[in-house]
């Protein structure tokens, strides 16, 4: 199976940091032209680095259809589309009214819906799409109700789109705990203890690294026989 993406155009929504940025780097290494997004391209701390690498950075906000106008105009043809962006809120369900949870659901599930809907006319005949869910979809914990609902919805959306957009292939990557800036809200000592405890609980004995996710995304993007699949990349978390 070749991973030579020379001549292909890839769009990564959420490619300025973490797993999304690792995906951008992997796509560049495979020869693809890469476009990624930010709500504030000029204010993004990664803007200069991305531009230096040859990435086109475009303003986009997936929470509204109009927020994708600039991206739609920038990429008339899309061969590979990856959606990894998410604004997630964790809060105990009893203290979490639906009006507050809507931000998480709208930002991820309906945000992904908006992005694929707006870009669908640009998808080439051999195009592929990867959506990111998360391990809470199958192994929820306290305070994850909104995140669990959004991620489970993304997985259902991915399967549905694999049918409706065929022959375009659509798959979902379900990552577990990865060492990314998404845990930066923790104090360093607390974060390191969390990483170590999580790693020791997993069959693989380690937490994920962004490059692990990038490798899995390239597999889903390039394998012509895979569609409608949710690929678990959680180190076996759902088993223990």
CA angle 103, 105, 108 (to 5 degrees): 100
Per-residue 3-state assignment (H helix, E strand, C coil) for the chain: CCCCCCCCEEEEECCCCHHHHHHHHHHHHCCCEEEEEECCCCCCCCHHHHHHCCCEEEECCCCCHHHHHHHHHHCCCEEEEEECCCCCCCCCHHHCCHHHHHHHHHHHHHHHHHHHHHHHHHEEEEEEEEEECCHHHCCCCCCCHHHHHHHHHHHHHHHHHHHHCCCCEEEEEEECCECCHHHCCCCHHHHHHHHHHHHHHCCCCCCECHHHHHHHHHHHHHCCCCCCCEEEECCCHHHC
Longest dimension (CA), the chain: 51
| pLDDT at residue 207, as a whole number | 94
| pLDDT at residue 43, as a whole number | 66
Contact by Cβ (8 Å): 57, 20: no
| pLDDT at residue 124, as a whole number | 96
Residues 189, 198: Cα–Cα separation, whole Å: 14
| pLDDT at residue 36, as a whole number | 95
| pLDDT at residue 236, as a whole number | 92
Residues 227, 85: Cα–Cα separation, whole Å: 21
**pLDDT tens readout for residues 162-219:** 999 999 999 999 999 998 877 777 788 888 998 999 999 999 999 999 999 999 999 9
Beta-sheet pairing, 169-175 with 56-59: unpaired
Structure tokens that stand for 103 in this block: 């931000």
Q: What are the structural domain ranges in the chain?
A: 9-228
| pLDDT at residue 2, as a whole number | 59
| pLDDT at residue 1, as a whole number | 55
Q: Which CATH number fits domain 9-228: 3.40.50.720, 3.30.70.270, 3.40.718.10, 3.40.50.2000?
A: 3.40.50.720
Structure tokens that stand for 236 in this block: 């076996």
Low-confidence ranges of the chain (pLDDT < 50): none
| pLDDT at residue 12, as a whole number | 97
């Amino acid at each position: 199976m070749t991973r030579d993406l020379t001549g292909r155009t890839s769009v990564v929504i959420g490619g300025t940091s973490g797993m999304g940025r690792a995906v951008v780097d992997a796509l560049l290494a495979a020869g693809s032209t890469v476009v990624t997004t930010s709500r504030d391209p000029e204010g993004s701390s990664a803007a200069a680095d991305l531009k230096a690498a040859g990435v086109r950075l475009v303003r986009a906000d997936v929470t509204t259809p109009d927020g994708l106008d600039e991206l739609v105009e920038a990429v008339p043809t899309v061969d590979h589309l990856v959606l990894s962006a998410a604004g997630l809120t964790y809060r105990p369900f009893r203290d979490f009214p639906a009006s507050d949870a809507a931000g998480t659901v709208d930002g991820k599930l309906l945000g992904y819906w908006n992005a694929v809907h707006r870009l669908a006319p640009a998808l080439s005949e051999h195009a592929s799409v990867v959506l990111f869910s998360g391990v809470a979809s199958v192994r929820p914990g306290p305070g994850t109700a909104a995140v669990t609902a959004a991620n489970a919805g993304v997985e259902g959306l991915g399967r549905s789109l694999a049918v409706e957009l065929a022959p375009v292939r659509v798959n979902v990557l379900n990552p577990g705990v990865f060492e990314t800036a998404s845990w930066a809200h923790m104090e360093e000592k607390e974060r390191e203890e969390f990483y170590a405890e999580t790693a020791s609980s997993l069959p693989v004995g380690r937490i994920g690294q962004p490059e692990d996710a990038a490798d899995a995304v390239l597999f889903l993007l390039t394998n012509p026989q895979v569609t409608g699949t949710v690929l678990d990349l959680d180190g076996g978390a759902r088993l223990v």
